[in-house]
Structure 1
């Protein structure tokens, strides 16, 4: 989605905020409360909403140094041979050309196929033209044998607005025809859709019924949330009810465009979006594209300088362990998201979208001890052209925990700003994160699972595939170390095959080595470790453990991964 869409916003009933670029004032009055239940951990930290539509451009824009700290989950990028010219810019962001940089950041990507066309709304030519373009795009991807981070084919974009029914026939029939054309060439890459501009139950019901009846259901269901974050919970719940009523097995859900023009660069508003997307259980969510290529949608200015909103995503990127439940007073005011890293005993809360004096109530923090250090930071709404070198420290205090609970007052909040509340034992935490849970890593063609014996309760299994860049199974760990030197990397694992298994190890795109995993007591039974040296640079590094990967022919046997630890 980009600026020309504004002319059709009124036609589909979007909120006035979309039309004006202005931001509505939160309805909740000052004095709101956000409750954070640290004992109620509901999913691993995977930074689901740290993604972007057209976030990257060719020639490594923005710089890698701006991507690694925000732990980019995934991207939606234009198709190979992109013709799309958003806002008068030349075509850019070709999925295959930006793939090396996305790979360096540990990010997957969806390929948006109709962006082969130059205009928006897309100008339909003919079925012969479209199917020829489908063949060209898919074959270009199949020929790109070093690209392994493609998560799916997005067959069309906003068909409730851009599909030319009079020229191309019904979208449902067009979906079936396009789905089958892609599958005839590529039977393995997931298919994403319908990618509507808004969630509409009757539209979705018609689409799903046809897709079910023609065996063309998308692997990943997608739509856009560009109107109001307060809609997200209801839309997701309604979709799940609809899915079940039609006898369709649960699909993965991506909201691959979120936030209106007047919201996308407002960190307080984004805190509300991310909180609702996390609680809603989506697999991925991408910042909407409104302006320039190669800026992560306004997070970066001058290719390498962070804006105020970037710092919200940096706080998000710092989260590790498990997401924990946040409960706002209402769906329209103060809101946010939070995590708990049980290894370091750090509670990280990010919130905003409210003015005045408000309160964050924390429960279930008894494991941090009776005395804690509470640090409060803020980041402003600077827009997409003003750099913010660092967030502001509002306060640092020592507080007493009573009954595992703590109430923190936050005075003088600005509704457009975002805030970070970090709570940790007063005795201190390790100087840098040493343990990285596998379930927090970027997992490609593998499954996040749970086990009582696993560190943090989670692990990654079914790391089974090798031999093709569409099916290779691997994990990318984005780690941050204080100095350039050799570290001992300890890997927690399970191997129930009864024989030694192997995986490939590479870091920062360097040479491959082999890690061997002797057999253990069984699958999902953890406690065994192996260790190997890794030479890392100061700051951020990407460590890959792979059954198969480009330039690595494939491991032997099978192993499940619990964590890595750097010492």
Structure 2
């Protein structure tokens, strides 16, 4: 929906035009409470994704994407015909895949974008099924592409489906699902990708999909109106899913934020907070304007906008997301993480004006005295670069009973704010330990164990032989200098025999890492070490059971963390 109706919003009952250009602000005096002792999921930067985020020829540059830890993307189909806002077709999923891979991002392929118009102009079933075959075969032929994580069969059928010409959408879903599965039995299927969440529509769709054996692997809809709906929509979907006897699906909100919101950092802070709380697997910024800008995050030769800095703060998060609660339903909100290795609390918040308060609890591990840094980024729009956020204050404050209260005066509702709390004794100059559960995980699983560093690890790294099942973990790391580093890998291997994985970084040559057997699965403490030669700044390190240009590993080693020293 988002990217084509910027000039003529002929919307259904979900009208995004109802969203005001400026985020509503409740009365000043709201409170955001951050409970550092209540983690609820690993940091995976779920909302750092974009619809049509990339264009061909590496636009925007890797240097603008690596710091924001792009989780995933929705890109047009191979042979894209779509001309959003009159622009030439672009963003072909297979052509941008090398760049997406370089920055650790997965891709959904949006199949109806093979058509040039929006709303899509239906031709015939023969035409559509021939296009489906062409798209799937193009992907199957792309044997070096391993980051495709889903086929999105249609987009916004509650708005774009031509029932009169093509018949009932539920029947069309079955027909298209079976056509894709006849060629590709492995890649997850994503849908129904409705313009809004509607219970009765979803119930009809799911019932038919269940009865015909064509349920999507990843359930998807869009949240383009108001972030306050996100929690209730997800809860209602989960209740519906359960009532129909459907096993829990992964959820993607692959378009979020309306035209008047997507470039407003304060409003985006509210969206990200609610998407994280809701437990979605991925969420993508809506596309409203130009290709090659990661949906307005960069401008003028890859300069960051004000909103980019919010995602940079998000990208800096590591460890676990921790619980945040707010005293208002429409104003102040935020999200937070705690990196237990470095003892850094990172809080990002906004969507409120005036003087407000951030209360932190569970700070006992940081000691009785902490350094508190408060920073802001403005709503600059998509055409104005912001070279750096503004540091408002850096203070030393006393923690009492693990609690700290920080007053934030003069907030602007459209701006976003970052609060970093760390021990006064300081933290390491750069992040040395990277938890596997925080990394980009492809066709493996994030799991938990009490003996694992940070409480989480990645297991079931057990696929190889085809780019649709290659199983690997990509660590996006940031180091201060170009040099060789000792990389220590925490792992478990309960096979009773040595396991192996491939190691490569920044797309370079492969080497092999060997993991001697350990006492049991999911019991950590064992390590192996190797040497990696990295460039200054951001690097992507891959550990793989299977990957393009790598013949494949052996056994089933589980990954706890990597540490660079």
* SS in structure 2 of the partner of residue 255 of structure 1: strand
Of residues 468, 471, 476, the one that matches 2:469 is 471
3-state DSSP class of the match of 2:5?
helix
Counterparts of 1:14-29 in structure 2, within 5 Å, are: 14-18=15-19, 22-26=21-25, 28-29=26-27
Is residue 518 from structure 1 mapped to residue 521 from structure 2 by the alignment? no
* 1:32 aligned partner: 30
Report whether the alignment pairs 1:566 with 2:554: no
> For residues 113-165 of structure 1, what are the alpha-carbon distances to aligned partners after superposition, in whole Å with 9 as ceiling and x for unaligned?
00000000000000000000000000000000000000000000000000000
CA distance in 2, matches of 1:45, 1:534: 25
Whether the aligned pair in 2 keeps the contact of 1:447 and 1:461 (CA below 8 Å) is yes
1:31–1:359 CA contact under 8 A, matched in 2? yes
Counterpart of 1:11? 12
Q: Distance in 1 between matches of 2:11 and 2:121?
A: 21
Please tell me whether the aligned partners of residues 45 and 323 of structure 1 are also in contact (alpha carbons under 8 angstroms). Answer: yes
| Residues 84-114 of structure 1 deviation map (CA, whole Å, 9 limit, x = unaligned) | 0000000000000000000000000000000
Offset of residue 491 of structure 1: 0.1
Which stretch of the first structure deviates more once superposed, 459-468 or 295-304?
Answer: 295-304
Alpha-carbon distance in structure 1 between the residues aligned to 2:2 and 2:350: 25
1:150 counterpart = 2:148? yes
- Asked whether the 8 Å contact 1:2–1:86 carries over to 2, the reply is no
Aligned position for 2:56: 58
Helix, strand or coil for the counterpart of 1:209? helix
Shift of 1:9: 5.0
Q: Residue 17 of structure 1: CA displacement?
A: 4.3
Q: Where does structure 2 lack aligned partners over 5 or more consecutive residues?
A: none
What residue ranges of structure 1 are gaps of 5+ in the alignment? none
Aligned to 2:286: 288
Shift of 1:16: 3.7
Q: Distance in 1 between matches of 2:212 and 2:466?
A: 28
The whole-number CA distance in structure 1 between the counterparts of 2:102 and 2:9 is 37
The root-mean-square deviation of aligned C-alpha atoms, in Å, is 0.9
Map of 2:42 onto structure 1: 44
In structure 2, the CA distance between the partners of 1:147 and 1:540, relative to structure 1 (3 Å rule), is: same
Aligned counterparts of 1:553 and 1:96: Cα–Cα separation in 2: 22
What residue number does 2:346 align with?
Answer: 348
Cα drift, residue 303 of structure 1:
3.6
Partner of 1:362: 360
Q: Any idea what the Cα deviations from partners look like across 1:53-79, whole Å, max 9, x if unmatched?
A: 000000000000000000000000000
Q: Which residue in 1 is equivalent to 2:424? A: 426
C-alpha distance in structure 2 between counterparts of 1:66 and 1:451, whole Å: 34
Secondary structure in structure 2 of the residue aligned to 1:5:
coil
Equivalent position of 1:218 in the other structure: 216
Give the match's secondary structure for 1:316. Answer: helix
| Native 8 Å contact 1:47 1:317 kept in 2 | yes
1:497 is matched with 495
1:542 equivalent in structure 2: 540
Q: How is 1:215-364 mapped onto 2 (pairs within 5 angstroms)?
A: 215-364=213-362
**Residue equivalent to 2:179:** 181
Contact 1:319 1:348 in 2 (8 A): yes
Matched pairs, number = 564
Corresponding residue for 1:444?
442
Q: Deviations over 1:239-283 (max 9, x none)?
A: 000000000000000000000000000000000000000000000
CA contact (8 A) 1:17 1:260 kept: no
Q: Does 1:102 align with 2:104?
A: no
Q: Secondary structure at the match of 2:495?
A: coil
How many angstroms apart in 2 are the aligned matches of 1:368 and 1:13? 46
Are 1:90 and 2:91 matched, yes or no?
Answer: no
TM-score (normalised: structure 1): 0.99
Say which SS state the counterpart of residue 12 (structure 1) adopts: coil
Aligned partner of 2:390 among 392, 410, 419: 392
Give the Cα separation in 2 of the matches to 1:331 and 1:187: 43
Relative to structure 1, the CA distance from residue 212 to residue 256 in structure 2 (aligned partners, 3 Å threshold; closer, same or farther) is: same
Taking the TM superposition and a 5 Å limit, the aligned residue runs for 1:177-216 are 177-216=175-214
CA distance in 1, matches of 2:277, 2:455: 19
Do 2:467 and 2:548's aligned partners in 1 also have CA atoms closer than 8 Å?
Answer: yes
Distance 1:55 1:94 in 2: 11
Partner SS, residue 524 of structure 1:
coil
How far apart, in 1, do the equivalents of 2:63 and 2:9 lie? 37
